[in-house]
Amino acid sequence: MLEFPYRVGWFESELPPPQPDEVLVKTVFGSISTGSEIAQFKGEDPIAAARPLPRKLGYENVAEVILCGSQVQELQPGGYVVGTYGHRDYALVPANRLIPIAQSAPGALLLILGSDTARAIAKLELSLRSPLLVMGAGAVGLLALFNLTARGYRMVDVVEPDPARLALARKFGARQGFMPDQVPVSAASYAGGFECSGNSAAFLQLQNQMVQGGQICVLSDARLTPLPLSPAFHDKELRIYGSSNGLDYRTYARWFLAHARRYPLEEIFDTQIRFTELPETLIAMAEGQIQPRKVLIFYDR
């Protein structure tokens, strides 16, 4: 629980038996959101700041089903699910908020964020031959790449200042990878773009790389970093869309898991910790001591 900015603590409570529509789950894997969660931890998220403290942090979970309420039929003890109940080792969750999966694997954590990026693709009017540009190869950018290339888009380029992230982007099917200062002027020919960097300068560059009437979807959190419009927005009559929550998560999960085996999804997690190390890891991230793409949390005891 976040007690106040820069301070979290574990709280113990006894869970009651599940209600008829609830499921008791035991967490196997969790993760840390490097964007919105760290902003909440630092007290810099303006929307979260309006909610009272203490409050829970966290997002995706892979969990084992332990006990089901009397009305739950589609889940069974011993099965595995994906949920979004945050940093808890056990939780009671309504069955309709859990996504069944065949086996426990860290990569399944990414189907929630993957669905969010898939919704962004659905917003733009694109053909499989459209030249596309993704700004940023963090977790969001790589999942945008996954969703694009798995659907058959082959003309997808990436701009990213970290060479290691650029190399990983190529594993996800990027046609070309550029450092921000190496994008050729002739590359200003993209029909669609995806802002995944959370960086003002990158967003300005993305707008400059679009064709007349180009389309951009913003996937990074503009609450945390201002994303200004460039003169190109007006001159080229660009269309810019926002995107937040994903598609139908259960439907997307089937598609995601069918395609996931062809991609190195677990390489998105470049830092691994045990759940007991969560407080010091959040501090290290907030203070800039580490800058991971995505943190994988093991809940084994």
pLDDT (0 to 100) of residue 222 = 67
**For residue 224, what are the CA distances in angstroms to 45, 47, 218, 244, 284?**
7, 10, 13, 14, 19
DSSP symbol at 131: -
Confidence band for 48, pLDDT divided at 50, 70 and 90: confident
Name the residue type at position 290.
Answer: I
- Residue 46 clears pLDDT 90, i.e. is over it: no
- Residue 256 clears pLDDT 70, i.e. is over it: yes
Q: Which helix (H) or strand (E) holds 231?
A: helix 231-235
Which class in CATH covers the domain with range 117-242? Answer: alpha beta
Tokens representing residue 153 in the block = 């888009």
**Among the ranges given (56-60, 88-92, 243-247, 258-262), the one the predictor scored with the smallest mean pLDDT:** 243-247
Angle (nearest 5°) at CA 47 between 46 and 51: 110
E strands, 50-147, are 61-68, 80-83, 90-94, 99-101, 132-135
Q: Do 23 and 99 form a contact (C-beta atoms < 8 A)?
A: no
- Residue 187 clears pLDDT 90, i.e. is over it: no
What value does the CA radius of gyration of the chain take, rounded to a whole number of Å?
A: 20
Confidence band for 179, pLDDT divided at 50, 70 and 90: very high
**Among the ranges given (39-53, 55-69, 85-99), the one the predictor scored with the smallest mean pLDDT:** 39-53
Is pLDDT larger for residue 63 or for residue 187? 63
Tokens representing residue 111 in the block = 């189907």
**Could you give the angle at which helices 163-171 and 139-150 cross, rounded to 10 degrees?**
20
pLDDT (average), residues 170-193: 92
- Residue 301 clears pLDDT 70, i.e. is over it: no
- Residue 86 clears pLDDT 70, i.e. is over it: yes
Domain 2-104+270-298 has CATH 3.90.180.10: yes
Separation CA 149–CA 97 (nearest Å): 28
| pTM across the whole model | 0.94
Q: Do 214 and 238 form a contact (C-beta atoms < 8 A)?
A: yes
pLDDT (0 to 100) of residue 270 = 96
E strands, the chain, are 2-4, 7-8, 22-32, 61-68, 80-83, 90-94, 99-101, 132-135, 156-159, 176-178, 190-195, 210-218, 239-242, 271-274, 295-298
Q: DSSP 3-state assignment of 179?
A: coil
Q: Do 2-104+270-298 and 117-242 share a fold?
A: no
pLDDT (average), residues 183-206: 91
pLDDT (average), residues 213-233: 89
Domain boundaries along the sequence of the chain: 2-104+270-298, 117-242
Tokens representing residue 278 in the block = 């969560």
Q: What is the per-residue pLDDT across 88-131, written as a single tens digit (0 to 9) for each?
A: 999 999 999 999 999 999 999 999 999 999 998 998 999 999 99
Bridge partners (DSSP) listed for residue 62: 29, 82
